[in-house]
Amino acid sequence: MKFNSILLLATVLAPTLCHADCQQNAAIANQFINGYIKYNNAVYQQKTKQTALEWLQKNKTVTPHFTQSYQQLLTQAEKEDPELGLDFDPILDAQDYPEQGVKIVNCEAQSGLVTLAGKDKEWKNFKLVVNVLDKRVDGAGVINIPKDKQASR
């Protein structure tokens, strides 16, 4: 009887705990991307000279794996095309972005993938996938996100 009670309790609480983790992952992803957009806006307005790599290295919400993958992607792109490098932002998987920020659209508890979309009407179709691993961002845009899980463009 005691075992049945524990099993019933676990069955009832498990979805709640998964839902809480999903909500926490979504909040982490949303905060990270909105912070990155704020950083990009500051660059555009010439309020900072900090590079995106420097911004990532100082950011405590990303994994070292994310920062390393970002750096490797930039290095490879510069080798392939020294004048242009990448012609898009790999974190946002876009050339342009919703300057007003993003909001949470969906969260997958099992995978840690969070889908975000632009806040304002003009950007509602802009989607972005972020991967949260152990409460830190490990992927966003094209960085560490499998092609079949990336937002369609």
Residues 6+ apart with CB under 8 A from 33: 91, 92, 101, 102, 116, 128, 130, 140
Question: Which domains occur in the chain, in start order?
Answer: 2-149 (3.10.450)
Are 116 and 101 in contact, with CB atoms under 8 Å apart? no
CA distance 134 to 67: 16
Structure confidence at residue 140 as a pLDDT band (50, 70, 90): very high
Map tokens 């003009």 to a residue: 122
Mean pLDDT, range 86-94, rounded to an integer: 95
Q: What pTM, to 2 d.p., does this model score? A: 0.85
Indicate the pLDDT class of residue 123, thresholds 50, 70 and 90.
Answer: very high
Q: Which residues pair with 133 in a beta bridge?
A: 136
Say if CB 69 and CB 56 are below 8 A apart: no
Instruction: Give the N- to C-terminal CA distance of the chain in Å, as an integer.
Output: 54
pLDDT in tens, 13-66: 434 445 778 999 999 999 999 999 999 999 999 999 999 999 999 999 999 999
